[in-house]
Amino acid sequence: MSKQRRPLIAGNWKMNGLVGSATPELQELVKRAGDHPDPKCDILICPPATLLYEMVSLAEGSAVKIGGQNCHANESGAHTGDISAEMLKDAGAEYCIVGHSERRADHGESNAVVKAKAEAALRAGLIAIVCVGETLVEREGDKTLDVISDQVRNSLPGGATASNTVIAYEPVWAIGTGKTPTPENVADVHAHIRKELGSMMGDSDSVRVLYGGSVKGSNAAELMAVENVDGALVGGASLKAVDFWPIVSTCI
């Protein structure tokens, strides 16, 4: 991790959690974070929208920030079942994940859709976490860097800066599988992302680039030590504080 970029450890709870089960987990995370009054990283939890307001209330005044998992590109309108970035902001969110591979695959979200959502997040005053990553077929076809270039160039919002945009590299084939790329593989992709950002943004050296994909306590330290890795986007291991905290501890 670079000393010039403050690490971000983000937990994506996906479609998991009810108030009764989620509350004690967030309370435990807040308690652990409170034992470190000057943390050297940012800590973020992105719960389902149904938990957002409750989690914001529980985390208030702590080092733990709360974000959304997705947003609609429009501020309001006839979009049944969708949530705007402004609604997330109104509920107390500070970040919003856009373009996660599960959204790209399950909902057919193109780079253009992801970009529009990222721009909506910025419009609402949220920090956009823009996800990119290749499938196993693309990796085995030696297309990883081409895919990453296409997604970075065409998914980033207009007006993206280091203060309002984060990139998260999640190799699709590693998400929830227990498989992870080698540190060398991660270093190559993150260096490539940094190079792409350099041609797009004046403050590219300050943009945080996270790694995601089966991050857990047992491999977090090795992954966080990779050059150009500025934190993690964590899935299953973020659901319980006892599993998430060892990942946070790698840079606390």
Q: Indicate the CATH number for domain 8-248.
A: 3.20.20.70
The answer, yes or no, to whether residue 174 has pLDDT greater than 90, is no
The answer, yes or no, to whether residue 203 has pLDDT greater than 90, is yes
The model's pLDDT over 33-86, given as tens digits with 9 standing for 90+, comes to 999 989 999 999 999 999 999 999 999 999 999 999 999 999 999 999 999 999
The model's pLDDT over 87-136, given as tens digits with 9 standing for 90+, comes to 999 999 999 999 999 999 999 999 999 999 999 999 999 999 999 999 99
The pTM of this model reads 0.96
Catalytic (active site) residue 170: yes
Catalytic (active site) residue 100: yes
DSSP string, 68-89: ES--BSSSSSS-TT--BHHHHH
Of the residues 25, 54, 119, 170, only one is catalytic, namely: 170
- Phi, then psi, of 196 in degrees rounded to 5: -60, -45
What residues have CB less than 8 Å from 142, skipping those under 6 apart? none
Of the residues 72, 100, 190, 192, only one is catalytic, namely: 100
Position 8: which residue type?
A: L
Mapped onto helix, strand or coil, the DSSP state of residue 154 is helix
